[in-house]
Structure 1
Amino acid sequence: MKHRFIVIDDSELDCFIAEKMIKHTIENEQVIAFTEAARALEYITQQGAVTDQPKAILLLDVLMPVVSGFDFVEAFEQLPPDVQRSYLLVALTSTMNKNDLSRISGYKSVKHLLDKPITAEALLALLGEIDATAGEPLAGSL
């Protein structure tokens, strides 16, 4: 199954690493990267509901300036349900702050957490779970 990825991270280097890791781990993957969460939200809003393709996997950095990952998720959850169903949100975090982890895990649209930097093993495990559940919420992921 071909996957579509959207990476949202304020660090250009982290976006580059995530994009390269995805493309080198899985062939023929489509990756779009944004360094500003607001621009990513605009893109998602303009795309609307995407029903003719599998859900896009949205890798979202939690701790970003201006529009944080928390702010992004709150805005995302205000989008129409059919648009929300077109995406699978995965929170990326390098923080060990239990409050941040608990807070991001509390959003209904966040289905999984991944540590930064992304590894091939973590990416393959995530895709295995997604493919096994056809994009439904990942049991035991949060």
Structure 2
Amino acid sequence: MSAPFPHFIIIDDSQLDCFIAEKIIQNTGTFSSVKSYTEATDALESIKDLGEKIDAVTIIVLDIQMPLMNGFQFVEAFEQLPSEVQSNYAIFMFSSSINENDKNRMENYPSIRRFYGKPISKDTVARMIEQL
């Protein structure tokens, strides 16, 4: 039996971007659940609360530029969690504009799998799942 489809967590301060990403992921049919957060701190609390209690890998679709806690600050806090929790997640950074500093900075974080430009597409979803 194959592994269950991944869960998805979308973290983006734009409700519209969250909505669009949810619809695109749902249209692929290759997901167990999709949950959106407009505040990275809320997503982090949810991950902490769940701990190791998830049945499939969760792909985190993470916007870089957000108020309060940006994508890099989220990753820094995420990487402080126990490795048993971290191993259940795969983080993919997204941004509508990427500068070289951000690209270079991503290499410092082992939990970031890859960067993609916005908007998310069905092909991007397929590529993220392939990288699990």
Instruction: State TM-score, norm by structure 1.
Output: 0.85
Q: Distance in 2 between matches of 1:4 and 1:14?
A: 18
| Residue number among 40, 59, 66 corresponding to 1:37 in the alignment | 40
RMSD over equivalenced CA pairs, Å: 1.4
Stretches of 4+ aligned residues off by more than 4 angstroms: none
Sequence identity (%): 43
User: What secondary structure is seen at the aligned counterpart in 1 of 2:66?
Assistant: coil
CA distance 1:49–1:28, shift in 2 (3 Å): closer
Q: Distance in 1 between matches of 2:106 and 2:30?
A: 30
User: What secondary structure is seen at the aligned counterpart in 1 of 2:119?
Assistant: coil
Instruction: State TM-score, norm by structure 2.
Output: 0.91
2:111 corresponds to which residue?
109
Q: How does 1:3-82 map to 2 (within 5 A)?
A: 3-27=6-30, 29-50=32-53, 53-82=55-84
Q: Distance in 1 between matches of 2:121 and 2:107?
A: 21
Shift of 1:28: 5.2
Q: Distance in 1 between matches of 2:30 and 2:122?
A: 12
Asked if the contact 2:25–2:31 (Cα under 8 Å) also holds between the matched residues in 1, the reply is no
Asked if the contact 2:6–2:30 (Cα under 8 Å) also holds between the matched residues in 1, the reply is no
Q: Distance in 2 between matches of 1:80 and 1:57?
A: 17
